[in-house]
Amino acid sequence: MEALLQQIEKYKQEITDVKATTAEAVEAFRIQWLGTKGLLKNIMGEMKNVPNEHKRAFGQVLNDFKLFVEAKFEELQQSNSTEKSEEKAFDWSLPGSSVPVGTRHPLTIVRNQIVSIFKTLGFAIAEGPEIEDDWHNFGAMNLPEDHPARDMQDTFYINQNPAWLLRTHTSSVQARVLETQKPPIRVICPGRVYRNETISARAHCFFHQIEGLYIDENVSFADLKQTLYFFVQEMFGKGVQVRFRPSYFPFTEPSAEMDISCLICDSKGCNVCKHTGWVEILGSGMVHPKVLENFGIDSTKYTGFAFGMGVERICQLKYQVNDLRLYSQNDVRFLKQFTGAV
């Protein structure tokens, strides 16, 4: 009997030290102590060997021990199930915290659209430097140094070397193509250009252009018109009208500006079309023989056309953007409106 009491004390110590961190460990504790073949049952079985006069006292000890084991079991269960309930409290079906995905800039979207339209007509893309020399930007394009037409493009010059400038148009890329390729030539030149203008809703010190150049035998003004008409229909839709107005560029002869019917007011007259119903979208013309000769191309054999448009203007008409400054302010409220456009 004494030995049995000592044994129970030892068990109590052992049980006190038990730690169960998993549901399996709690179950193992239950089987070991409270199961049908568990130690508690075993000890209870000793009752029959206890002399009658001690039965009562021993019964009390056994009962306390049983309560002790059960309390421990409950405690283990509890500490495990709090973990469980914390797990349950976390709703795995909730959407994750998302990383915001940016969108393409509207100018990139429109540039890509323009480029892909001309690609279907067989135009290749040509690119060139934004810092140019005077020759590629002006001289080769039939704008000699004191030519008054230079005033059409207010230019940023570079102090360290006055022969360098920020290109005012991507015609400089046309010059670089003519320098290195032989006709037939069919390229479009997208890129950023710079002009020294005061920033306002209608002007900026930089903008984006796409110029085109097509040189081959028998290229005529009719080809120019048809190409640009096709472009307008693809870009803005079938019902949009075009008109050509005579104009002047030193590098083309004859030259024309092309207008499209105003998409903002449906040609009824608004601020964008200055109440004329027409909006100018590009300059164009037949490549001046002098430009061809500058690059050793026989102007009696070859002819060609060129055109140049501002991406901002096309984008303004396509998406009704009314202030040029929006393009470079980096305001997500503006930029995210183009989600989904490609």
Interface with ligand PHE by CB under 6 A: which residues? 169, 171, 211, 249, 252, 283-285, 306-308
Cβ-based nearer residue to ligand PHE, 35 or 139: 139
| Number of residue whose CB is nearest ligand PHE | 308
CB atoms within 10 A of CB 260: 23
Rounded CA-CA distance 244/284 in Å is 9
Minimum Å distance from CB 264 to ligand PHE?
22
Minimum Å distance from CB 216 to ligand PHE?
17
Look-up: residue for tokens 């080809």?
223
Minimum Å distance from CB 324 to ligand PHE?
16
Cβ-based nearer residue to ligand PHE, 80 or 227: 227
Rounded CA-CA distance 121/99 in Å is 39
Cβ-based nearer residue to ligand PHE, 156 or 334: 156
Contact between 239 and 320 under an 8 Å Cβ cutoff? The reply is: no
Q: How far from the centroid of its chain's Cα atoms is residue 76's Cα?
A: 53
Would you list the DSSP string of 110-132? HHHHHHHHHHHTTPEE----SEE
Minimum Å distance from CB 325 to ligand PHE?
20
Minimum Å distance from CB 307 to ligand PHE?
5
Cβ-based nearer residue to ligand PHE, 165 or 306: 306
Total H helices, total E strands in the chain: 11, 10
Cβ-based nearer residue to ligand PHE, 39 or 121: 121
Minimum Å distance from CB 119 to ligand PHE?
19
Give which of 285, 294, 248 is closest to 141, Cα–Cα. 294
Cβ-based nearer residue to ligand PHE, 26 or 287: 287
Contact between 184 and 216 under an 8 Å Cβ cutoff? The reply is: yes
Give which of 152, 154, 324, 163 is closest to 255, Cα–Cα. 152
